[in-house]
Structure 1
Amino acid sequence: MSYNFEELTYSEAKDLLRQWRENNERRSEDVMELWTTVLSDDLSKLGNEKHLVLEQVIYAALDCHSYGVATMCIYVLSNEFPGSMRVMRHKAALLEAEEKYDEALEVLDSIIKADETNSAARKRRIAILKAQGLTSEAIKELVDYLKKFMSDVEAWQELCSLYLQVQEYSRAAFCAEELILHQPHNHLMHQRLADIRYTMGGVENMELAKTYYCQALKLNPENMRALLGLFLVTNNLLNHYKSAGNSSKRKEVWKLCQWAQSSAARRQRAARALPATPDLSQMMLALAITD
């Protein structure tokens, strides 16, 4: 929806910003235009919403690289709340946006020193290390963070991704297992752990990957990635059991492989509205061979 901000009254502009806040809409460019055309002339009219609006404008200004506007808003908040750690976080965000990472870290460190339970400041510290490309340092900070905030699901997800970046697959698998403990009914968590185990290789990891792919499909039968992963992992296990001479396990895995292949081919035909042809099965087999 487009707005003609110049025709809005002050009250309408306030209501619009409140609506975006309540709906968690970032709308940074619109917030900045609304601020410059209507609201910035008289802050006293903002009433009880003044500080909320200023914070909203700060992050909109950072998104739009309007650092002067952000600095002005932070200055107003600093005068009204001297020594506030919340305002210090805004200062750190401004320094981070300007790529003044060392200064931003100093501000964040002072916040953490004053309040060790300030999780937001710790997270921003980790984000700055990531922005600088210091992956190992970010991992170390994140591990230390999770010792204090073990139930932070987003932090476990981030740590899992960082371990994957540095190819620490066993530690990434541990993080994925923690995520499953927190969200046992989330099919994506089971799929992620299965992907990691499949990447690690080896018969034991392949068996675990098979189990987690099956669980992901049980939770969400429409998960195509888990279905293709199941086909690939069972195809690899077939080759192992053939050489090992384990006929009972090979028969079980063969049935599962055939089911995954036929299910994936059927869904591809339905999605593309193509007639049934043997080419789709050949595509699945070719995918397994090239894996």
Structure 2
Amino acid sequence: MAPSILHPPVQLSPAAALALSQQAPAILRSSPSTVSSSPLNTLLSGSEKPEQWLQYENLILSCLRTGDDQAAHACLRRLVARFGNDNERVQALRGLVKEAEAPDNGALENVLKEYNQILGENDANIPIAKRRIALLRSMGRLSDAASALVQLLDFSPTDAEAWSELSDIYLSQGLYPQAIYAIEEVLVLAPNAWNVCSPTIAPDLSPMLMQRPSQIHARLGELQYMAASAPGAANGSSQKYLAEAIKRFSRSIELCDDYLRGYYGLKLVSKKLLNDGVKAAKQTDDSEFVLPDTHTIERLNELATAKLSEIVRHSAANDRGWRGYSEAEIAAARELLADDASAIKR
């Protein structure tokens, strides 16, 4: 299925982004090149549709990815003509275009100065604050980006997207407990949300996990697994992390029966537990989730193996109802199953 121009293109493959950007000339030709910023004129003309401005935003993102700067500028000019230079979203999109066209770090520093100046005049400009964070991260200034995100969350503690980005930055620094805490905040804020990123704010931060609830649980399980596997992890904390990882991956599968990433994570955790010979812990009074017994872990491993095999088989055959999995995830699942098969042969 072709990607929709009305959906934020933050997770598209290069081919899909190119397909969207190639729609830019036709869309620009089919819509008026000049628009009035007067609400009265807009109401009387009847030519404006809300989807039109969303199309322009998404086209800017796709065109910048594919190097079509001319079309990106054309879309930006129409947004400026409609909403004005002082509109916060327009300011963020203009900054994004400048970032994409910056030839070196010096030019990026100039964009960063512009962001600082805008925030100096209005520190409540959330789109610019998020673009500044994304720019700091892209320049490798992770500590500054994390500090800026903490400040943003002090101002807006219910921003699930910001918590998710903060978790990702902590993970890149190897700060697993902090990364886990941040993604747990996402689950608290959006336990039943269709995704974490809203289409209205997707361009403001670097591309983030456009996640359904099952994906958020699986992401938390991945963080727990990485924390348990990190060098120097104490045996007690490692067992606690693995117990939580099993719970999160199981929950992700419960929410989405054919969710490859959930089964992949469950396979990894159960395999590690069986190889390490970790024994089930006794339930404590604080109702903390503990590892199940070995028999249950073996059954979970068998379930994950069977389901991954089924997904890989049907996806390879391009069977109807089994399409949509990414090639990278299918390849990873096939490799994990092959490792199991080679271990049995030995």
Is the deviation greater in 208-217 or in 129-138?
208-217
Describe the SS at the equivalent of 2:271.
Answer: helix
Match of 2:251 in 1: 215
Describe the shift of the 1:281–1:256 C-alpha distance in structure 2 as closer, same or farther (beyond 3 A).
farther
* CA distance in structure 2 between the aligned counterparts of 1:85 and 1:157, rounded to whole angstroms: 22
Please show how residues 1-291 of structure 1 align to structure 2 within 5 Å. 23-24=6-7, 27-32=20-25, 34-35=27-28, 43=34, 48=42, 49=48, 56=56, 59=60, 62-63=64-65, 64-66=67-69, 70=73, 74=77, 77=80, 81=84, 85-99=88-102, 100-185=107-192, 186-201=213-228, 202-222=238-258, 223-235=262-274, 239-241=277-279, 252-271=292-311, 272=313, 283=340, 286=343
Describe the SS at the equivalent of 1:241.
Answer: coil
Q: Residue 170 of structure 2 contacts residue 179 of structure 2 at CA under 8 Å; is this kept in 1?
A: yes
TM normalised by structure 1 equals 0.68
* CA distance in structure 2 between the aligned counterparts of 1:182 and 1:56, rounded to whole angstroms: 30
Match of 2:331 in 1: none
Matched residues, number: 256
Deviations 1:50-90 (A, max 9, x none): 99669928827645443597289649947994655555434
* CA distance in structure 2 between the aligned counterparts of 1:193 and 1:284, rounded to whole angstroms: 28
* CA distance in structure 2 between the aligned counterparts of 1:90 and 1:281, rounded to whole angstroms: 45
Alpha-carbon offset, residue 125 of structure 1: 0.5
Alpha-carbon offset, residue 198 of structure 1: 2.1
Describe the shift of the 1:168–1:76 C-alpha distance in structure 2 as closer, same or farther (beyond 3 A).
closer
Alpha-carbon offset, residue 128 of structure 1: 1.0
* CA distance in structure 2 between the aligned counterparts of 1:122 and 1:97, rounded to whole angstroms: 17
Q: Residue 21 of structure 2 contacts residue 68 of structure 2 at CA under 8 Å; is this kept in 1?
A: no
Q: Which has the higher contact order (CA 8 A, sep 6+)?
A: 2
Describe the shift of the 1:184–1:236 C-alpha distance in structure 2 as closer, same or farther (beyond 3 A).
farther
Q: Residue 54 of structure 1 contacts residue 73 of structure 1 at CA under 8 Å; is this kept in 2?
A: no
Alpha-carbon offset, residue 262 of structure 1: 2.1
Deviations 1:109-130 (A, max 9, x none): 2322232222111111011112
Describe the shift of the 1:65–1:129 C-alpha distance in structure 2 as closer, same or farther (beyond 3 A).
farther
Describe the shift of the 1:71–1:255 C-alpha distance in structure 2 as closer, same or farther (beyond 3 A).
same
Describe the shift of the 1:67–1:285 C-alpha distance in structure 2 as closer, same or farther (beyond 3 A).
same
User: Which amino acid in structure 1 is aligned with residue 169 of structure 2?
Assistant: L
Q: Residue 62 of structure 1 contacts residue 94 of structure 1 at CA under 8 Å; is this kept in 2?
A: yes
User: Which amino acid in structure 2 is aligned with residue 192 of structure 1?
Assistant: R
TM normalised by structure 2 equals 0.59
Describe the shift of the 1:95–1:208 C-alpha distance in structure 2 as closer, same or farther (beyond 3 A).
same
* CA distance in structure 1 between the aligned counterparts of 2:216 and 2:244, rounded to whole angstroms: 14
Unaligned regions of 5+ residues in structure 2, if any? 10-19, 43-47, 193-212, 229-237, 283-289, 315-336
**Bigger CA radius of gyration:** 1
**Identical residues among aligned pairs (%):** 20
Describe the SS at the equivalent of 1:133.
Answer: coil
Q: Residue 264 of structure 2 contacts residue 304 of structure 2 at CA under 8 Å; is this kept in 1?
A: no
Describe the shift of the 1:107–1:253 C-alpha distance in structure 2 as closer, same or farther (beyond 3 A).
same
User: Which amino acid in structure 2 is aligned with residue 190 of structure 1?
Assistant: H
* CA distance in structure 1 between the aligned counterparts of 2:83 and 2:339, rounded to whole angstroms: 69
* CA distance in structure 2 between the aligned counterparts of 1:127 and 1:204, rounded to whole angstroms: 33
Describe the shift of the 1:135–1:91 C-alpha distance in structure 2 as closer, same or farther (beyond 3 A).
same
RMSD: 4.4
